[in-house]
């Protein structure tokens, strides 16, 4: 029986937090495979080691690079001193600026994880296994899942206990390549799958995944258990604890992810499990209609009305063609008999592009009216529980009515596990609070 554990930047930030990490690992005989981030912020105004490395790479002069490196060395040396371990990293420090890889951004930026793993490995006596030996990217720049699994599985099983740096692997050209920011979560999932872990524990600095954004509702409840599908819906709408790609290596293997808090290890955290395992009764959770609420602001709505629209073959196709030709991402498209609403992602959509789109929609679709509204918020109310419960949409609408919120759009996904509503930006906070109160509070 083996677990894979990943510790994030705050857990690895200083000697005190690293001692907590050590205690968590050594107290659990199943905690055999550990993935770490680079040291993160020690307090809110601090700089993460990864950002220090990014700045180092951007330095134009030799002197600037030297000074930046000295600051990074000072951070690691302080940790090593305080932990009282016998570890000399001078050759590794020197390689950051003085190896054949030093011209590579990814190599330089990955060194935070590399050094962090070396420190933990020395502290707890687990073998250091370099991520470059077990994580491989394909020529398209994406993770080569099959190759990685083969390499990682063979190497890690041989190691028995291992500490692996997160965030990077080897590219198809044989050079170090990193994931996007926060990518150590993905590395943790890769390791969990490779060793067939019973669970992937993702140790961070919060007690778990909250039902909604704590900036909108004071101390919202922690979600005790959610499914990968619910997580995807909530994460897409902005709720973030995990890197969005972290679930792919583990969800198909049925390995649950347990979000835990290094600074409050007695809290059970949030379990993320497969829907099928919940259905079959392998995992049980409290009966709740709604698992979580998440939302994002600043969408654009294009409200279109045309008489006899329902009889016109290809009307919606033309709308979608116009969006496609202008490289615009469609988020939702609820339709009525003679009306359709296009809710679009505003990223990269300038006023000029929006005007062009509206003109093309007028020319090619001849609507009776077309109205554009900016500043719409989308809110997703998510939970498998709504599938078997009558009246969820009515409770959504009723609670928003009582909070004096005008719903601009409502859309229930065909999977019947989410209801998406659009409200004006100024009603956003009130809506989240009202929905929380209705379903959880």
Q: Does position 183 bind ligand ASP by CB under 6 A?
A: yes
Q: Which residue among 5, 9, 251, 315 contacts ligand ASP (CB under 6 A)?
A: 9
In the beta sheet, which residues pair with residue 341?
303
CB of 48 to ligand ASP, least distance (A): 5
**x-or-dash string of contact with ligand ASP, 101-130, rule CB under 6 A:** -----------x------------------
Q: Closest CB to ligand ASP among 202 and 392?
A: 202
Q: Does position 167 bind ligand ASP by CB under 6 A?
A: yes
Q: Closest CB to ligand ASP among 112 and 256?
A: 112
Q: Closest CB to ligand ASP among 107 and 436?
A: 107
Q: Closest CB to ligand ASP among 156 and 242?
A: 242
Q: Does position 182 bind ligand ASP by CB under 6 A?
A: yes
Q: Closest CB to ligand ASP among 167 and 209?
A: 167
Q: Does position 184 bind ligand ASP by CB under 6 A?
A: yes
Q: Which stretch binds ligand ASP (CB under 6 A): 142-150, 177-185, 199-207, 357-365?
A: 177-185
Q: Closest CB to ligand ASP among 167 and 200?
A: 167
For residues 248-307, which are near ligand ASP according to CB under 6 A?
A: none
Q: Does position 50 bind ligand ASP by CB under 6 A?
A: yes
CB of 105 to ligand ASP, least distance (A): 13
Q: Which residue among 18, 38, 400, 419 contacts ligand ASP (CB under 6 A)?
A: 38
Q: Closest CB to ligand ASP among 167 and 436?
A: 167
Q: Does position 76 bind ligand ASP by CB under 6 A?
A: no
Q: Does position 48 bind ligand ASP by CB under 6 A?
A: yes
* Site residues, ligand ASP (CB under 6 A): 8-9, 37-38, 48, 50, 112, 166-167, 181-184
């Amino acid at each position: 029986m083996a677990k894979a554990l990943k510790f994030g930047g705050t857990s690895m930030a200083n000697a005190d937090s690293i001692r907590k990490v050590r205690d968590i690992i050594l107290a659990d005989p199943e905690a055999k495979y550990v993935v770490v981030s680079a040291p993160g912020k020690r307090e809110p105004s601090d700089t993460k080691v990864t950002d220090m490395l990014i700045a180092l790479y951007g330095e134009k002069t030799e002197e600037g690079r030297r000074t930046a490196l000295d600051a990074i060395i000072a951070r690691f040396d302080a940790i090593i001193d305080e932990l009282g371990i016998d570890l000399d990293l001078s050759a590794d420090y020197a390689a950051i600026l003085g190896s054949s890889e030093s011209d590579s951004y990814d190599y330089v930026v990955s060194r935070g994880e590399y050094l962090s793993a070396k420190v933990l490995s020395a502290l707890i006596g687990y073998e250091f296994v370099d991520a470059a030996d077990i994580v491989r990217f394909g020529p398209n720049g994406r993770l080569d899942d099959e190759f990685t699994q083969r390499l990682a599985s063979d190497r890690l099983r041989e190691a028995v206990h291992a500490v692996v740096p997160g965030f990077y692997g080897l590219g198809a050209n044989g050079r170090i390549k990193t994931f996007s920011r926060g990518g150590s979560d993905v590395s943790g999932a890769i390791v969990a799958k490779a060793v067939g872990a019973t669970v992937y524990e993702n140790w961070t600095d919060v007690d778990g995944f909250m039902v909604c954004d704590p900036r909108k509702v004071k101390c919202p409840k922690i979600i005790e258990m959610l499914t990968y599908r619910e997580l995807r819906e909530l994460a897409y709408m902005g709720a973030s604890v995990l890197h969005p790609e972290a679930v792919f290596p583990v969800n198909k293997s049925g390995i649950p992810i347990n979000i835990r808090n290094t600074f409050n290890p007695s809290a059970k955290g949030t379990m993320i499990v497969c829907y099928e395992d919940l259905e079959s009764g392998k995992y049980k959770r409290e009966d709740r209609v709604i698992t979580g609420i998440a939302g994002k602001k600043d969408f654009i709505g294009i409200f279109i009305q045309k008489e006899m629209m329902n009889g016109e073959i290809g009307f919606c196709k033309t709308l979608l063609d116009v969006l496609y030709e202008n490289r615009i991402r469609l988020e939702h498209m609820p339709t009525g008999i003679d009306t359709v609403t296009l809710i679009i992602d505003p990223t990269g959509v300038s006023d000029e592009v929006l005007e062009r789109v509206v003109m093309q929609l007028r020319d090619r679709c001849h609507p009776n009216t077309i109205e554009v509204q900016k500043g719409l918020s989308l809110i997703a109310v998510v939970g498998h529980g709504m599938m078997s419960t009558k009246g969820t949409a009515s409770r959504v609408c009723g609670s928003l009515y009582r909070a004096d919120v005008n719903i601009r759009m409502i859309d229930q996904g065909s999977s019947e596990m989410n209801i998406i509503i659009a409200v004006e930006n100024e009603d956003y906070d009130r809506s989240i609070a009202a929905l929380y109160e209705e379903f959880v509070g």
